[in-house]
Each structure stands twice: as structure tokens, then as C-alpha cells.
Amino acid sequence: MHPMLNIAMRAARGAGNVISRAFENVDKIEVEAKGGNDLVTNVDRQAEQIIIDTIRKSYPDHSIVSEECGELPGKNSDYQWIIDPLDGTANFVKGIPHFAVSIALKVKGKLDQAVIYDPIRGELFTASRGKGAQLNNVRVRVTAQKELAGTILATGFPHKQKHHTEAYLGMFNDLFMNSADIRRAGSAALDLAYVAAGRVDAFWELGLRPWDTAAGELMVIEAGGLVTDVTGGHNHSKSGNIVAANPRILKELLTQIRPHLTATMK
Ligand code: IPD
Ligand code: CA
Ligand code: CA
């Protein structure tokens, strides 16, 4: 196993232990509104510190970008860790047991290692570039679904960009009418991990940030899936508008989305 994946797993488990312990006393969690329907808690920050300390102990020169503390430049910018210490904070605060730690490593700008850890279910999703994706050390693959009809899709509502609501609901309507059903579970990292594990056939969301999607993107690709922006291009880490799917249904999915795209979504 790649030594940097090992450190990422150690960091994710350390953060996961703090998160699951805190989850036993949700009423003691200190919640802060970051603005625009975006929350952060003392547990997000504690988890983030554990992850950063674990990484820095082994790789003090690496760069880090993490949701709550932002950019931490390192002497060696070839290595950049992208961290969401607690993806699904709103679920966590509400006592809904569906959230994860998400850690990705980019080497010279390319996604190289990824860990998504669900501390409640004890599910550790991992991926290394060129080595496939695993769930608790068992290989996972995207579904082989050949058409949109009959698929179960995952999504997130644009709760931080409500100006996209009309366009988004147009996409939702057309995708819902052409698939079997849609899930909105509240953790983009787990949504992507579930695409990789074949639990859902595809995922799309508008307005995500690199720390929401970096680890999940590598996981989907290593599980045989494709990740694009909403036009089928590769601008998703900038636009935040992402589609992840098994290759057979991506084209049909983008066709349903296309009529609802606005200029700012591309
Ligand atoms: C959020 C979750 C949610 C998605 C939001 C993200 P956070 O991450 O991934 O599912 O819809 O856009 O911001 O804020 O809980 O880390
Ligand atoms: Ca997130
Ligand atoms: Ca977060």
C-alpha cells in the first residue's frame, strides 16, 4: 500500500473517532453559521486539526488545503492534501448518521490518493491512482447499467446557491422522469463513494468545492466511472458543478441536464 495512503487512512480514522464520539452527545456540539446555509462546528475543527497534525508528522513539507482552515502552503508544493474533515455537517448537527471524512492527495496537480471514511458505518473507501478503488479492502466498481431508465441517482440541492433553483429543478424533473428514483443523502463525498461502490448509478450537484469532491472523484475514476462538469468537460473543480457516472449512462444524463444549463454553470 502506498505510504501516503496509509497516512491518509490513519488521519481519517483519528478524525472519525473524534467525530463519532461527539455524535453521541449532539446537544453538546458548538454550531456556527458560516453564512449562506453553511455550518461549521467545533468538531469539524477538531477533526481537521487531527488530520493536519497526522499528515504534517510524516510529511511536514507538503501543502494542504482544508475546508475550515484554508490553504496551508508547504515547502514542497508538488504534494497537496485536500481535506474535508467532516462532509455532511448539517446531518451531523441534526443527529442524522450520514457524514464522512474526506482526504485526497494531489501529486503535481493530479489526484493520486483518496480516502473517504464513514465513522458510523465503519466504511473506509480508498483509492490510489492506477490501482482501483476499495471499500474496506474489497475492490469496488461502478454499476454496469446501460441506460438511464431504471437507475437510482444521487444529488444535492443548491442550498448555498438558491439562484440556481429553477434551473436545478428543471434538471431534477427531467432526470427523475427518465430514471427510477433519486436520493439526496447530505454528503457529497459519500454520494461519490457510493457511485464508485455501485450503490447508486450516478451523482450530480451544483456549487460544490474541491474538498467536497477531490477524494470522491479519484474513487469514481478508479472504480471505472467518469467525472465531468455539467457540459461533459473538465471544469468541475473550478465551477463546482459535477457529474459522476458509470460511462454507459453519462451521455444520456448530460443530455437531460443540457437544456437547463445557464451561462454561469459552465
Ligand atoms: C456539504 C455536503 C452536502 C452538499 C453541500 C456540501 P459540508 O458539505 O457535502 O451534501 O450538498 O454542498 O457543502 O458543508 O457538510 O462539508
Ligand atoms: Ca463538504
Ligand atoms: Ca465539511
Q: What pLDDT, on a 0 to 100 scale, did the predictor assign at position 8?
A: 98
Q: Does residue 161 contact residue 207 with C-beta atoms inside 8 Å?
A: yes
DSSP E strands, the chain: 31-33, 39-41, 62-66, 70-72, 76-87, 100-107, 110-118, 123-128, 133-135, 138-140, 152-155, 181-183, 202-205, 226-229, 242-245
Give distance in angstroms: CA of 54 to centre of ligand 1.
24
pTM of the model: 0.97
CA distance linking residue 110 with residue 100, whole number of Å: 23
Q: What pLDDT, on a 0 to 100 scale, did the predictor assign at position 1?
A: 85
Pocket test for ligand 1, best of 38, 40, 87, 203 (most atoms within 8 A of CB): 87
Q: Which residues surround ligand 3, an ion (CB under 5 A)?
A: 67, 84, 86-87
- Using alpha carbons only, give the angle 20, 21, 24 rounded to the nearest 5 degrees: 90
Q: What pLDDT, on a 0 to 100 scale, did the predictor assign at position 137?
A: 97
Give distance in angstroms: CA of 255 to centre of ligand 3.
31
At residue 175, the 3 state secondary structure works out as: helix
Other beta carbons within 10 Å of 87: 29
Give distance in angstroms: CA of 160 to centre of ligand 1.
9
Which of the ligands is closest to the CA of residue 39? Answer: 1
CA distance linking residue 238 with residue 240, whole number of Å: 6
Q: Does residue 60 contact residue 74 with C-beta atoms inside 8 Å?
A: yes
What is the mean pLDDT, run by run of 10 residues, along the chain of 266 residues? 96 98 95 88 98 98 97 96 98 98 98 98 98 98 98 96 94 98 98 98 97 98 98 95 97 98 86
Which of the ligands is closest to the CA of residue 159? Answer: 1
Q: What pLDDT, on a 0 to 100 scale, did the predictor assign at position 36?
A: 78
Does the beta carbon of 74 sit less than 6 angstroms from any atom of ligand 1?
Answer: no
CA distance linking residue 135 with residue 260, whole number of Å: 35
